[in-house]
Amino acid sequence: MELQIATDGLKGKIILVTGAGDGIGRTAALTYAKHGAQIILLGRTVAKLEAVYDEILALGGLEPAIIPLDLKGATQKHYQEMADTIEAQFGHLDGLLHNASLLGTLSPFHQIDETVFDDVMQVNVKGAFLMTQPLLPLLKKSAAGRLIFTSSTVGHSGRAYWGSYAISKFATEGMMQIIADEYSNTPLRVNVINPGGTRTQMRASAYPAEDPQTLKTPEEIMPLYLYLMSAQCEETGQCFDAQPK
Ligand SMILES: NC(=O)c1ccc[n+]([C@@H]2O[C@H](COP(=O)([O-])OP(=O)(O)OC[C@H]3O[C@@H](n4cnc5c(N)ncnc54)[C@H](OP(=O)(O)O)[C@@H]3O)[C@@H](O)[C@H]2O)c1
């Protein structure tokens, strides 16, 4: 698998990135823009999205669109309206990176709080589910549609105390496999990325005693994000580690 993507490898592609205001999503949005894509920035904190918008323009990228949306409260109606707007403005969608997630609270299984469980499942699973449904017809209109979900090491191997978050990531991997199978005879490619430990706010919340300098930066894991979004990607239905052991 050759991960090298030309600097104009995503030229003119319309790519939606969720959680684009911070962490890995922010870096993915900037990286895709640097490779020629027009980015739809989705997130819950408008000021952060506007800062990424400014950064993309400053580096000479195509003007992004901003969709302020909190996946926690969003309903089917919001996602349908969003898809209608994207279709009216762009006609189709080339790529969707499901990146936004909630960590919730790490705790012993018997102490998992129902509200935390509901919030994590709502954002990480139901949000991605409801958003994907109306966007699939737009991805199918692309000559090389790419749908990427984000999981975690605890999304395919359960680990003590990772409760709601790990359960949500198992569900995410299952959702990816179902869609990949349904579209296996089409140009649409559907995969999961496991970023591995990466220097972000979420990682710092999960491992407060860890030295962040020991971790890879979001920039360092971008080759896989680029490859899976590119026309070069032929694989579908797979989970890829951005930091293989
Ligand atoms: N970092 C790691 O080590 C690591 C390891 C394995 C997997 N992952 C996965 O990688 C992805 C990115 O993680 P990260 O470390 O970059 O996390 P992060 O630094 O916490 O960034 C997450 C982004 O998602 C947004 N977001 C969270 N809840 C949202 C909601 N309800 N509606 C809309 N946007 C929301 C956040 O918005 P705000 O900016 O407004 O907070 C933020 O921009 C996640 O799926 C995570 O599970 C990360």
Sheet of strand 65-68, all strands in order from the earlier edge strand to the far edge? 65-68, 38-43, 14-18, 95-97, 146-150, 189-194, 239-241
Q: What is the pLDDT of residue 219?
A: 97
CA distance 242 to 194: 6
CA distance 244 to 119: 30
> Which domain, by its residues, includes 134?
14-241
Q: What is the pLDDT of residue 3?
A: 77
Those residues with Cβ within 8 angstroms of residue 181's Cβ, 6 or more apart along the chain or in another chain = 237
> Is a pLDDT exceeding 80 seen at residue 62?
yes
In a domain, 201, yes or no: yes
In a domain, 3, yes or no: no
Q: Which is the closest atom of ligand 1 to the Cα of 44? A: 33
> Is a pLDDT exceeding 70 seen at residue 124?
yes
Whether residue 201 has its Cβ less than 6 Å from ligand 1: yes
Long-range contacts of the stretch 178-181 (C-beta < 8 A, 24+): 179/132, 179/136, 179/147, 180/236, 180/237, 180/238, 181/237
In a domain, 152, yes or no: yes
Whether residue 99 has its Cβ less than 6 Å from ligand 1: yes
In this prediction, residues 105-126 reach a mean pLDDT of 98
- The pick from 17, 22, 154 for probing ligand 1's pocket by mutation, whose C-beta has the most ligand atoms within 8 angstroms, reads 22
Q: What is the mean pLDDT of the chain?
A: 97
In a domain, 5, yes or no: no
> Is a pLDDT exceeding 80 seen at residue 81?
yes
Number of domains in the chain: 1
In this prediction, residues 194-200 reach a mean pLDDT of 98
In a domain, 185, yes or no: yes
Give the pTM.
0.98
CA distance 17 to 232: 19
Q: Is 165 a catalytic residue?
A: yes
Tokens of 21: 């205001």
In a domain, 8, yes or no: no
**Amino acid found at 83:** A
In this prediction, residues 101-127 reach a mean pLDDT of 98
Q: Which is the closest atom of ligand 1 to the Cα of 103? A: 47
In a domain, 4, yes or no: no
CATH number of the domain that residue 177 is part of: 3.40.50.720
Q: What is the pLDDT of residue 1?
A: 67
Whether residue 97 has its Cβ less than 6 Å from ligand 1: no
In this prediction, residues 170-193 reach a mean pLDDT of 98
CA distance 241 to 193: 6
Catalytic residue among 53, 79, 165, 227: 165
In a domain, 100, yes or no: yes
